[in-house]
Every structure is written in structure tokens, then in C-alpha cells.
Structure 1
Amino acid sequence: MNHVLIVDDEAEIRESLENILREEGYIVTSAATAGEALELLRDAAYDVVLLDIWLPDRDGLDALTEIRQMESAHVPEVVIISGHGTIEAAVKATKLGAYDFLEKPLSLARTLIVLKNAMKARQMREDNQEFSRQLAVKGTVTGNSVPMKALRQQIKLMAPTNGRVLIYGESGTGKELIGRAMHAESLRKDRVFVELNCAAIPEDYIETELFGYRHGAGPAGPGSPSEKRGTFERADGGTLFLDEVGDMSLKTQAKVLRALDEQRFLPVGASNPIHVDVRVIAATNKDLEEEIARGNFREDLFYRLNVIPFFVPPLRDRKEDIPLLAKEFLREFGQQYGRPRVEISDDALATLKQYHWPGNVRELRNLVERVLILNPKVQRIEKKHLPVLVFRDAGKAAGRGEEFATLLEAREAYERDYILKKLDECHGNVSRAAEGLGLERSHLYRKMKALGVSVKE
């Protein structure tokens, strides 16, 4: 938590501030225009922005407004700096969301004090946001099945310790939610929870994502910050969740092992190591012992991570939890899309319980959202609103063939689902969907009306 972005068109001021702040231990990036600064803010996380009012491409207060409105989990604090400071400008900046206002020529002592306080305010805001997210997450380890009751009890017992945790489970079972729930019950619950999906980061970038880099050692090119904090550094004092840890290369595994053993690491391009206090919770959908036998995973790292093993059961092994989960997702998306009173029938829930759910809880969540979006006028989700795939699988599970009373009902259900899938692929654009289906637009509209399909373009 020490990344500063300086935005000023005067090169001398930028260079002076950069040198001073780096000596104080800050990671510093600078920009000469508002456009350049906004591009940097879209690509990387900054804690505080020192923003000049007079910029060559636009007014700094306009840029301030845009920064404060950014859709990001890491919106920085903004300190306005100006050589033409007035009370009116300071008041306006504060109303627009600026943390403070500094006049040029800058006082070094006051600048450092304001910057330090802005950092604290940013951290407090992030901690409060994280705490709110954790409160919401506490209810997401949902289910009254025996496996889920046992899992909640295990979380309650192990969360207050600092023991490392390795969570096993198929994709979509909710391993990250288990990690968040553990953090929310831990002694570190008031500190940050940082996650990194190891499978989503290319091998060339995984080291800098984990450990960060210092000035001049990062990727070149426009929009690339000159310095970056890694996930280990950002998680200092809190919890680091390493998802799909089995996908890390052996080279990266060796560096993670050393960081775990020593609780310190060396950012790329740095000369001094950084000491951290981090609890690591890892997750994998692989059999790591089998990966060890194949030479793909380090045995010593496995034993460091596998202090407290957790297993998250697939949804097919706890089908009694499906009605509870479906109703919870329906409430969530009902609130999100302004339809809080939509219900789901017992018949539809029974059909969902017969499906085998290869995508686990994530697939159920996506299905509920999709059904709600593609049926905007429906106040009660019935069995007929579910995708044909669910019908077919449920019918096979019940040993009764397809779940339709007549051939006409089966044909309509298939057509309805096929049209919904095509509309989904075309993001609700009826014209494009009609083209993909080989129909005239007017013909598709008639079909949709007859089948009860209503989608906003």
C-alpha cells in the first residue's frame, strides 16, 4: 500500500517528487497529461494520485471526477496540487471527492504528511469494503447437507489459526468462497484478502504478479506502470489466496516455497528484500500427489501448503442443497435486475435436483441468472423455463426418457431452448439471432411470441 501516481505537466516537478517519494519508500509512476494518467489508472492499481489542476489536455478537476467514478475495487485517493490555488478551487475539489489540496511551491513536510494520511484513508476504505464483502460471503457456504455442515464446522475450527490451508475441489465448487469464509472467521479478518488465479497468468508474468517489480524492471510499453506491488506485498498482514496452485511452473513453485519459508521475497529489479506477514490459502482442482509423481509439482511445497487440507464436494454429491442454492441465487439476481419477487416452482427445483451439474455451483448460478434474464416478464420460474439440456439429463436420471407429455411439448421446448441459446450468443440482438437461425426477423418474432420468449434488444 504505497503506490503513488504523479500527474503534472512540469517535468522538473515530476522528477523532484519521484526522487523524494522513492527515498521515502513509495512506488512512484508519473504522467504528464490527464489522458495518460487515466490510461495508467485503468491498467494498474494506485493508492494515491497527486493531480495538478492545470494540465495541457484537460482540466484536472474534470479528471478528478472521472477518477472518482471509475468502476474499480481500488479507486485511489486524489490530492490536488496547483500553483494557482484559491479557496474556491480547494472547496470545489473537496466536493468532487479530493482528499486534500496542496499549493505550489510544495512544502516537502506538508506533502509527506498529506500523502501518509491519504494512504491511511485509502487503506481504511479498502478494509471497510473488504469487510463488507466478507460479511456477504459468510452466508455463501450454503447447504444443509452432511458434507456442507462438516465443512462449516471445519472452517470454524481451523480459521482462527495461522495454519496454511489447501482446498481441493472440482472447478466451480466454490473453493474461493471457502477461502474467503476462512479469512472472515480468522484473526486477520480486519485485514485484506488478496487472490491470484495462477492458471490465468502467463508464465512470463506470474513472478511479477506474485512479487512485483521495481523501477525499470517491469514490462515496457505505453500504459505499463514503472513499478508494481505483487500479491505477497499487497496481502501483508492479511490472507493470500492462490487459486489453481497446481498450474504454477516448477520455477515459480521454488520461489513461492522460499517466500513461504522466509516470509520475505525480492521484487524483480529490487536490491532489498521485503518482509511480510501473510497467511496463504491455496486451492487446486488437481490431484497434487499425482502431479508430484509425474514431476510436475514440488513435494516440499506440497507439504508446506497442505498443513490443513479441505475438500469441497461436487454439487452432484450434495443435491439436497440445490433448492437452497437456487433460491439464494434467485434472490441475488432478482435484486440485481430489479425483480425481487420472482419465485421458482417445486417442479422446477425437482428437475434441477435430477441434473448431474458438471459445472457444479457455478453452473447452477449461471443457469439461474440466464433463466431470469431471458424470461423478463415471468414472476415464477417453472420447469418449462429450464434449458432442454436439464430436462434431458433429468429424464435419463429418472429412467423415464424425456420429461414431456406430448411430441408437441417436446418440440416446442427444444425450439424454445434453441432460440434462447442463439439469442444468448447474440447478446439479445434479435436481428443477428434471426440471421444465425436462417429466419426472417419477423418470422423469429412470431416464433418468440408463440413460445413465450421475450428479450430486450
Structure 2
Amino acid sequence: MYRLLLIDDEADVQYSFRRLFQGPDVEVATASSGEEGLRLIPKIKPDLVLMDVRMAGMSGLETLRRLRQTDARLPVIIMTAYGTTQTAIEAMKLGAYDYLLKPFDVPKLKEVVAAALRASQAMRQNVTLETTLSAEDVETGMVGRSEAMQAVFKLIGQLAASDATVLITGESGTGKELAARAIYTHSRRAQQPFLAINCAAIPETLLESELFGHEKGAFTGATTQRIGKFEQCHGGTLFLDEIGDMSPATQTKILRVLQSGEFERVGGNQPIRVDVRVIAATNRPLEKAVAEKKFREDLFYRLNVVRLHLPPLRERKEDLPLLVEYFLRKLSRASGRPRPGVAPETLALLTQHDWPGNVRELENVIQRALVVAKGDTLLPDDLPAELRNQARATPAPATDAIAPASGETPSVAVPTDIAPLVRALFEWARQDGRRRLLPAVERELVLQALRETHGNQLQAARLLGMTRATLRKRIERYGIRRQISVE
């Protein structure tokens, strides 16, 4: 049974809402003021509150403000006949689920109420993502339990114990600078400077001066002597990101530093000796650049003493729940708001995405979701539309049939890309020993099948690969009938 609480001082509106929503599966309670509504909420524990803005006594916005101090999860739909931009903005800032204008478009009202009830249920079933990150994970930002990332961490530990030059490779957004900082943090140079420079972000004419410095009068505008990054970093570690974008002249000087530890400032002739560990990174295939004579072969071999490759996020999706938790902690702390949970459907959508922008793209998506979230749980609608649409448009994946033993009936084909989703579900289950994975997944599958078929049990049973009688048993077991009827 769903409980709706209407807070409105107009008797006609209360009567209309009872006629629209009161039924076997929905109970409608009413209050005529904000004060009365706040007293009723802890008693009847509604699934959804609909509230007018202008009422005698406490306004709807003030009621919402006080409600949010005690309950950040309860969806609230604000209604008004006096719509202003400022009121709408203020309502959404206070965490309203939606904002509707009177007189109502009844189909639209029913649609919003049904969506809010689904959101209310999702918030009660959120994935809390508790206590899976270590303090070191949070401090360094290097997060991962997958086999690929464990191999990365092991190699970082080995590299930290030496002074070898390192070449970090990986797609854009995989965390190459974080890996460089991790090597530095655990090395014997950790008390010395660490400087990072993006070779692609600095114009070619200025990069040499930025790295090696220049003498007064070396070129137009060089009114004073300047110390470069290599001198500033003496005794420490210099991270050269996107090194594949360097000009041939700068490549030559980098090669000399790596070979002899010496260079001259631009416009100078006095050799300067430095002790600097170089960690370079690129998202381009340097071997191809060498073959095309765009990158010096001897410099490539000097840089490629030890290579550390960072896997793209699509190849380690089992780490996605941990990464989501990490970004929720980081971004919630920065914004000064409580860390929300994540609905299972939201985590499933995130797992389906291919993440061409890798971890950086995931951080942006989580940041966006935190901004638009209307409660203390991230819902599918909080994700960017293009991510949700891509998931809907994704064709059925290629499948690998499992060969049956001799004489057996051929088994059902298994999607090849379902493994990351299964690993993510097991990660969710491991976070709390009380969670029962199979019933939770089975319930969601039955729910989704009924939604996809608009409640047609025969079609839903076919979709799930079970008999109609079995489906009915699952519906009764999980108490699904009333939810589908409301939706």
C-alpha cells in the first residue's frame, strides 16, 4: 500500500486528489497546513508528499525546508498557481522532487506521481556502498580491486623502490598523473619536489623555456633570467605528460638530460647539472610515432625503461562500484552535503556504459548526478540523458553458446559482456553480509519484465524464460502486484 500525503488548504484540491488517487493500492491522507503536515509525516510515514506553496501559516517552501532537516529521502512535489522562476529555483534547491503548476494536466500529474513513487521505492533499496575504501584509497585516488589494477599497484611499488625512468601509457582519463604521483609518494624522493607539466598544453615556442629556463635577453621578452622546471625539481621528480607532443628540438634536450643529467638554459652556454627522476606519460602509441619519424627512437628507449600501462575503465568494470563510492565521498565532502546512496538501477546503467572518457568521465557523471539529485539516492534520471539513451539503444550483445555434453539439450546462450555486471553485483553483496543477492536480482528482473510488457504476465514470463505459473509465484513472493498496478 502506497501512502500519499497532500498538504493544501483548499478543500476542492483535497477532494480532487482523493478521487484521482485513492484506491485499493493507494491511500491518500490530507493536511490543511504545513504545521499539520509536519506533525502527520512521522505518524503515517508517507511514500510521497504533494504540497502547495501558498498556504495560511507556514509556506510550502518553509515546510519543505524544515522537512529536509529531518528527512532528506522523502520525495516532495511542490504545487502552485502562482508560478515564478524564483519559486521554482528555490523549491528545487531545497530538494523538491518536482514542481507543478495549477491547474493540473491530469495525465502529466499522474505520470509525475508514478515516477515519484518509483523514486521513493528506489531510495529505500539504495546501494549504500559502505566501508569498502581504505584510507589510502581515499588519500591517493588510486582505486581498484580488479586483477588489472592490482598488477598496476604491484608495479608502482616496485618502481617506487628504484630511480628508473618510467613511461606511463593509457587512454585519456585513466589516471596517469595519479599513477605518477603514487610512484613519487612512495619513493625515496618523496620529501623533494614533484612537478607536473603537460607538454601538449604549452606552445612549442615556450615549452623549451618552461623546461630548461632561459637567460636574460635570450629572446624578445626575456627581460630576466628564468629557472626552468628541471632546475626547480633538482633532487625530485618531474612528470612530463603527453610527451609525444614534443618538438624534435625539445626531444633532443630531454635525451641529453636523461643521458648525462646536464643541459643549458635557452640562450646560455653554461652546462647545468641536475639530479631529476623523469616520469613520462602519453596516450599515443609512441612506437608508431617512432616509425613515422615523429619521435626520436633513442629518446623512446631512454623513456621506456619500465612501462606502466593503465587499463581503460571498460576493461575493469568490477571496480566501478568502488570508483563510484570514491567520487561520492570526494565530491560530497567538497560540497558539504551528506554522501548519498545509489539505486541498483543506476549502478546497472553505469556498468553498461563503455566509458570512452574513462575515470575522468565517470567523475563528471557523478558530479552532475549529485547536482541534480532530488533526494539522498542517485536515481537513473539523475544520469545524463545520453548515457540513459545509449543503454536503451544498446542492441542485444553477442553471445557465446556453452557447448553441451554429449546427449544433453543445448544450453542457453550466455552474453559475453554480462560478466562485469555480475562482478559489480557481487561487489554490492559483499559490502553487507545481510544482503541476499539472488532474491534481490530476481525481484528486479521480474519487475523490469512487467514494466517492459506493461503488466502482461504471459509476455513477461516469456521474456524471463519461465512459465506463467512460476511468474505468478514470484509476483506473490516479492509483493510486486501493488507496485505494478500503481505504475
Q: When the two structures are superposed, what TM-score results if normalisation uses the length of structure 2? A: 0.52
- Residue 137 of structure 1 deviates from its aligned partner by 7.5
**Contact 2:171/2:312 (<8 A) preserved:** yes
Structure 1 residues 313 and 153: CA distance shift in structure 2, 3 A? same
- Residue 373 of structure 1 deviates from its aligned partner by 2.2
What's 1:321 paired with? Answer: 319
Which residue, out of 387, 390, 393, partners 1:393? 390
**SS of residue matched to 2:163:** coil
- Residue 186 of structure 1 deviates from its aligned partner by 0.8
**Contact 1:354/1:398 (<8 A) preserved:** no
What's 1:143 paired with? Answer: 144
> Residues 285-323 of structure 1, C-alpha deviation per residue, up to 9 Å, x if partnerless?
111111111010101000100000111000000011111
**Runs (5+) with no aligned partner, structure 1:** 1-133, 409-457
Whole-Å separation in 1 of the counterparts to 2:344 and 2:216: 60
Q: Which moved more, 1:155-164 or 1:336-345?
A: 336-345
- Residue 225 of structure 1 deviates from its aligned partner by 6.7
Q: Which moved more, 1:390-399 or 1:234-243?
A: 390-399
What's 2:265 paired with? Answer: 267
Asked if residue 198 in structure 1 is aligned to residue 199 in structure 2, the reply is yes
What's 1:245 paired with? Answer: 243
What's 1:169 paired with? Answer: 170
Whole-Å separation in 2 of the counterparts to 1:324 and 1:136: 10
Residue identity in the other structure for 1:289? E
Whole-Å separation in 1 of the counterparts to 2:395 and 2:320: 17
What's 2:329 paired with? Answer: 331
**SS of residue matched to 1:280:** strand
What's 1:211 paired with? Answer: 212
Whole-Å separation in 1 of the counterparts to 2:371 and 2:305: 43
Which residue, out of 251, 254, 278, partners 2:252? 254
> Residues 415-436 of structure 1, C-alpha deviation per residue, up to 9 Å, x if partnerless?
xxxxxxxxxxxxxxxxxxxxxx
**Contact 1:356/1:393 (<8 A) preserved:** no
Which of structures 1 and 2 has the larger relative contact order (alpha carbons within 8 angstroms, sep 6+)? 2
Higher-Rg structure is: 2
Whole-Å separation in 1 of the counterparts to 2:246 and 2:370: 38
Residue identity in the other structure for 2:352? Q
- Taking every aligned residue pair, what percent have the same amino acid on both sides? 46
What's 1:368 paired with? Answer: 366
**SS of residue matched to 1:378:** coil
- Residue 207 of structure 1 deviates from its aligned partner by 0.5
**Contact 1:242/1:281 (<8 A) preserved:** yes
Whole-Å separation in 2 of the counterparts to 1:251 and 1:346: 54
Whole-Å separation in 2 of the counterparts to 1:347 and 1:308: 41
Q: Which moved more, 1:167-176 or 1:226-235?
A: 226-235
Whole-Å separation in 2 of the counterparts to 1:156 and 1:219: 46
Structure 1 residues 228 and 340: CA distance shift in structure 2, 3 A? farther
**Contact 1:355/1:397 (<8 A) preserved:** no
- Residue 343 of structure 1 deviates from its aligned partner by 2.2
Asked if residue 288 in structure 1 is aligned to residue 286 in structure 2, the reply is yes
**SS of residue matched to 2:216:** coil
Whole-Å separation in 2 of the counterparts to 1:323 and 1:208: 44
Whole-Å separation in 1 of the counterparts to 2:231 and 2:453: 62
> Residues 115-174 of structure 1, C-alpha deviation per residue, up to 9 Å, x if partnerless?
xxxxxxxxxxxxxxxxxxx97875312111110011001111121100000011001110
**Contact 2:217/2:223 (<8 A) preserved:** no
Structure 1 residues 398 and 182: CA distance shift in structure 2, 3 A? farther
What's 1:80 paired with? Answer: none
Task: Show the 5 A alignment for 1:35-434.
Answer: 139-217=140-218, 219-220=220-221, 226-375=224-373, 377-397=374-394, 399=396
**Contact 1:237/1:276 (<8 A) preserved:** yes
- Residue 218 of structure 1 deviates from its aligned partner by 5.3
Whole-Å separation in 1 of the counterparts to 2:290 and 2:296: 6
Whole-Å separation in 1 of the counterparts to 2:289 and 2:150: 30
**Contact 1:288/1:302 (<8 A) preserved:** yes
**SS of residue matched to 2:337:** coil
Residue identity in the other structure for 2:313? L
Whole-Å separation in 2 of the counterparts to 1:264 and 1:407: 72
> Residues 348-371 of structure 1, C-alpha deviation per residue, up to 9 Å, x if partnerless?
111101001010000001111122
Whole-Å separation in 2 of the counterparts to 1:393 and 1:183: 39
**Runs (5+) with no aligned partner, structure 2:** 1-134, 398-447, 455-487
- Residue 233 of structure 1 deviates from its aligned partner by 1.1
- Residue 216 of structure 1 deviates from its aligned partner by 2.6
> Residues 162-191 of structure 1, C-alpha deviation per residue, up to 9 Å, x if partnerless?
000001100111011000001111111111
> Residues 348-406 of structure 1, C-alpha deviation per residue, up to 9 Å, x if partnerless?
1111010010100000011111221233x532111121112111222344739xx9958
**Contact 2:195/2:238 (<8 A) preserved:** yes
- Residue 407 of structure 1 deviates from its aligned partner by 12
- Residue 328 of structure 1 deviates from its aligned partner by 0.6
Residue identity in the other structure for 1:268? V
Task: Give the length in aligned residue pairs.
Answer: 269
> Residues 326-351 of structure 1, C-alpha deviation per residue, up to 9 Å, x if partnerless?
11111111011111332222221111
Whole-Å separation in 2 of the counterparts to 1:163 and 1:291: 23
> Residues 200-223 of structure 1, C-alpha deviation per residue, up to 9 Å, x if partnerless?
111111100110112233552xxx
**Contact 2:137/2:143 (<8 A) preserved:** no
- Residue 273 of structure 1 deviates from its aligned partner by 2.0
- Residue 254 of structure 1 deviates from its aligned partner by 0.7
Whole-Å separation in 1 of the counterparts to 2:228 and 2:220: 14
Structure 1 residues 143 and 225: CA distance shift in structure 2, 3 A? farther
Structure 1 residues 288 and 323: CA distance shift in structure 2, 3 A? same
Residue identity in the other structure for 1:174? G
**SS of residue matched to 1:200:** coil
Residue identity in the other structure for 1:323? P
